[in-house]
Amino acid sequence: MTKIKLIIVDDEMTSRNTIKKLLEDNAEYEVVADFSDGKTAIEWLRKNEIDIMLCDMQMQEINGVELMRMVHVINEFLPIIVISAFDDFKFVRGSLINGAANYLLKHELTKENLIRTLYQVREKYRIVPEERMLYHRIGYCIKDKNEFKAEVIKEMSDKKFIDFTYHNVVPLAVSPDYLFSEGVMPSEYKQELGKAVIDILGQILGREYQYVVYFTKQAHLILLLSFAGITSTLLIINVVKNLTGRLQRQIIRMLDTTVTMVVGEAQANLEAAVQEAYRLDEILKDKFYFGGNRIISAAVSGKIKYRKEEIPESLWKQLNFELSDWKRDSTDVLNEIFSYMEEVRMDREYVYHFCEKVIGLMQEQGMLMEEEKERVLRRIRENEIFEQIRIEIMEWYNSRKLHAEGEKDKYSAIVQRTVDYISKNYDKDISLERCAEEVGSSYTYLSRAFKQETGMRFVEFLNEQRVNKAKSLLLRNNITMKEVAGQAGFRNYNYFFKVFKENEGMTPAEFIAKN
């Protein structure tokens, strides 16, 4: 279906983005271009025909009244909807006198008000949508991978569909370092942030340098910058360095996030530039391990070799055992597994798969509800940096463990503090006297209260914690029995065997054989 074509002229990027968002996927109206200044809009309108223009009244260089007069010299009958923050009657009247078709206030800008105003203008001017070939301004955005090909870009350029000279092209890959706050939809957030970066690019580059943008499904931006006619390699290098530096600063200042960029070398022909651009995108994916907030030269950057393998069975068995009881602290083994994955550079899909299994175990233990599980997994799947995934999992584990412990605590404050102290220090040389000192209680009172509330004497409870740790370590089957005893907190090797058999009804060796 042919749509009514609109353009937006407003020096505020957020205002332009708001209107584009309100009309996104609209069946009747389509924003075909937007401009941050009237001069660029005028130049574009000399080559193109549209149905309706929306413009701000207060802009630098050319204000709304001047812009309307200039537009109506080019196209006397083009309807213009004024959008302004001022609701003063004289201001509204002045806009209408100077040729505005209608008036919208920014603080009243809703989807309903915008559509209603567009409909009124459409009826008043009897606008019937037509198929038009538009000569796109510099900065044409490609969203279909099938269009990001040398032959397609050449054809669009030769037919004057885009303003791009395809000689001496420098590719550049850009990826905002997305940080997902609670309550946001990651995929939508990435799309919106990516669009904002495209707008910032447009403001920085203006019309001085021709460029094409490929907006990937991962919300990466792949740029082809044209330096046709420039023979100085040093000048090209300086321009690209200046661009990446400005872009990095602007994104931090305006969007409150960092960015990762991979810079390619100048290519004599478009085919080589497109191939290089795809290679940059592959290098960009390596920020999964090398982290974000950096500018990388593709000429000196090697590709990470990922390992496609599962977590070692011994590590997974240990984690599975520890997560099977909310009373056990799995922090150490979780951190050890993440360190292992980072060290071997485990493939991203395998990292995601491991996180899914961990979240599944947490759900089985009642630490996560089904809807929480799905929300966490969405955030992890959209995350492009390993360390952020690690932090996400550890924060969720610690917060849900505390929540689960809070729901299940049945002890008095003093006994609970003692239990917590034992859980954190079972591998050290601790005693009831030391615990009484830590919690501010007498030895006699704590001994009696502890036995009454837990059903075990202090030493029995301590040994149970140590045996549980020993069982977890024995599942690894890659350290000596003496090391297991020491890491579990037993200072005497024979005492370790005695306590283990009393608690489990089998020796450590029999436990290993059974598991």
Q: Where are the domains of the chain?
A: 4-125, 140-300, 313-408, 413-514
Q: How many CB atoms lie within 10 A of CB 485?
A: 23
Tokens at 63, concatenated: 């204000």
Q: Which CATH number fits domain 140-300: 3.30.70.270, 3.90.650.10, 1.10.1740.10, 3.30.420.40?
A: 3.30.70.270
The whole-angstrom separation of Cα 84 and Cα 90 is 13
Q: Give Cβ neighbours of residue 389 (< 8 Å, ≥ 6 apart).
A: 351, 355, 380, 383
User: What pLDDT tens digit does each residue of the chain (515 aa) get?
Assistant: 689 999 999 988 888 888 998 998 899 999 988 888 888 889 888 888 899 999 998 887 788 888 888 898 888 889 999 888 766 555 555 566 567 888 888 888 899 999 999 999 998 888 888 877 676 667 888 989 999 999 999 998 988 888 899 889 999 999 998 877 766 788 888 888 888 888 888 878 877 889 999 999 888 999 999 998 888 889 999 999 999 999 999 999 888 889 999 999 999 899 999 999 999 999 999 999 999 999 999 988 888 999 998 888 888 888 888 887 766 778 888 998 999 999 999 999 999 999 988 888 888 877 777 777 888 888 888 889 999 899 888 888 877 766 655 545 578 888 888 888 888 888 888 888 888 888 888 888 888 888 888 888 998 888 888 888 888 888 876 778 888 888 888 888 888 888 888 888 888 888 887 87
Q: Which residues contact 245 (CB under 8 A, 6 or more apart)?
A: 295
**What are 374's two structure tokens?**
């799905």
- Dig out the tokens for 262 from the structure: 């991979």
The CATH fold of domain 4-125: Rossmann fold (3.40.50)
The token duo for 166 is: 């395809």
Residues 326-358 as b or e (16 or more Cβ within 10 Å = b):
bebbbeebbeebbeebeeeebbbebbeebbebb
421 burial level (CB within 10 Å; 0-12, 13-18, 19+) = middle
- The pTM score is 0.69
Q: Which superfamily does 413-514 belong to?
A: Homeodomain-like (1.10.10.60)
User: Would the CATH topology of 4-125 be identical to that of 140-300?
Assistant: no
Q: Which residue has the tokens 């330096």?
A: 227
Rounded-to-integer distance, Cα 52 and Cα 9, Å: 11
